[in-house]
Amino acid sequence: MSTAEETRETMARHPFVARFIDQGRARRTSGQPQWWADLRTGALQKLVGLDVPGRKDEEWRFINLSSLVERDWSPQEDATFEPTADQLEEWRVPEASSTTLVFANGRYIPELSTVADLPEGARVTTWSELRDAGELDVIADYVDIADYWEDDVFYNLNSANFEDGLVVVVDRNVVVEQPIHVLHVADGTAGDYAAHPRNVIVTGESAEVTVIEEYATAEDGVYFHNVVDEVTVAPNSKVRHVKVQQDSTDAFHVARNQITIGADANYESTAVNIGAGLSRNDSYALFDGRNIECTLDGLGFVSGSQVTDTHTALDHDYPDANSYQLQKNIVDDRAHAVFNGKIFVQQDSQRIDSNQLNQNLLLSKRGRVDTKPQLEIFADDVVCSHGATVGQLEESHLFYLMARGVERDRAKALLTYAFAAEVLEDIVVDTLRERLEAHIMEQTTS
């Protein structure tokens, strides 16, 4: 079959994929190093043979993608958004005042971004800036590095279409004290657009950095964020990664997070999924050396008809690792939360201590929770604990608070907040943590 015939067939089978193939093929190639051009071409070829996942696929069985895949998505370039500085005020993180990068409807906005006061050897920039400077090769070795996503439609859609995204490169022994804040703000009234942010975070040996990756909504509406993060944590370095997803409840958010961790390194992440009508957040952490510590925590808070689906996979490939996972979901109204946590311990990966806990709080009768731990352990000297709970607010707790004079609604908010606090309290950026805590309280009271 010729390429054209294959494409026609894909078009007939999956207009969703075919449309993105067309868009990818139309993208400019000027200024692209060969490896990027190859990545795009490879992804386009791959996509021709990939199916949109459906409920018969084990990885997708709990959610329905039809509202996402049946829509005609325009490229982000057709839906530009020029935010004002005032519009961004509510999401500014004071601790990151000198290291904030702003993207609006997927497009980098240098005028609203500030990158200053960084130590020597720390680079905070974007794909577009590196391309213009002809310096993209600094990240060549850290892009598209894992086989795990090879057959993933959304990963390949991103690879075939991305134009921009955050780039953080911290050299050996360099410690970046201030957090780096990448703020993706969306105007959902600008048209049904798809953006494919590609964020790359790389540390050198013994380096340290904190990144806040945030998705916020200026105007509600339909759009599709299809994100790929690639984080490479060098030996003995430390990365803290906070993701805050507050996309419009009419929007879709899909993210693939590749984390590759070297020996003696530490990766700590907290993913907060509050927004989007449908959000799907998958993380794959590859333990690529001994003595690694990895924490993948998450908080989902959904109401109305929102759906949030979190999949994690911790791949312990070397001995002597500790991993921690606490995923909490709060489900109100007819909303739906899904958690799937995979833990792989390969043969010879001895002395692994892995703890996974998924706790769900149902605030309504019609809410729904699906949870599935999945352990595949091929070594014998390991400790893997996992647990899942689904519960409601306890009447005895409510009565106790009311007996102290707290109104019932306020007591409910306080207890819901308390449930979430265990995840949020590990966010080291104070103003961000306080903003999220206030948000949870406010959402529960209203």
Question: Based on CB atoms, which residue is closest to another protein, 224 or 419?
Answer: 419
Question: Segment contacting another protein (CB under 8 A): 121-129, 273-281, 368-376, 419-427?
Answer: 419-427
Does residue 442 bind another protein (CB under 8 A)?
A: no
Given candidates 36, 91, 287, 417, which one binds another protein under the rule CB under 8 A? 417
Given candidates 11, 69, 421, 428, which one binds another protein under the rule CB under 8 A? 421
* Cα gap 254→155, rounded to integer Å: 9
Residues 115-154 that bind another protein (CB under 8 A): none
Does residue 399 bind another protein (CB under 8 A)?
A: yes
Does residue 377 bind another protein (CB under 8 A)?
A: no
Does residue 408 bind another protein (CB under 8 A)?
A: yes
Given candidates 379, 401, 428, 441, which one binds another protein under the rule CB under 8 A? 401
Given candidates 192, 353, 370, 422, which one binds another protein under the rule CB under 8 A? 422
Does residue 441 bind another protein (CB under 8 A)?
A: no
Does residue 301 bind another protein (CB under 8 A)?
A: no
Given candidates 69, 390, 406, 441, which one binds another protein under the rule CB under 8 A? 406
Does residue 414 bind another protein (CB under 8 A)?
A: yes
Question: Segment contacting another protein (CB under 8 A): 69-77, 204-212, 276-284, 411-419?
Answer: 411-419
Does residue 29 bind another protein (CB under 8 A)?
A: no
- The distance of closest approach from Cβ of residue 426 to another protein in the complex, given in angstroms and rounded to an integer, is 13
Does residue 400 bind another protein (CB under 8 A)?
A: yes
- The distance of closest approach from Cβ of residue 373 to another protein in the complex, given in angstroms and rounded to an integer, is 22
Question: Based on CB atoms, which residue is closest to another protein, 287 or 417?
Answer: 417
Question: Based on CB atoms, which residue is closest to another protein, 85 or 402?
Answer: 402
How many residues line the site for another protein (CB under 8 A)? Answer: 24
Contact footprint for another protein (CB under 8 A): 394-397, 399-408, 410-411, 414-415, 417-422
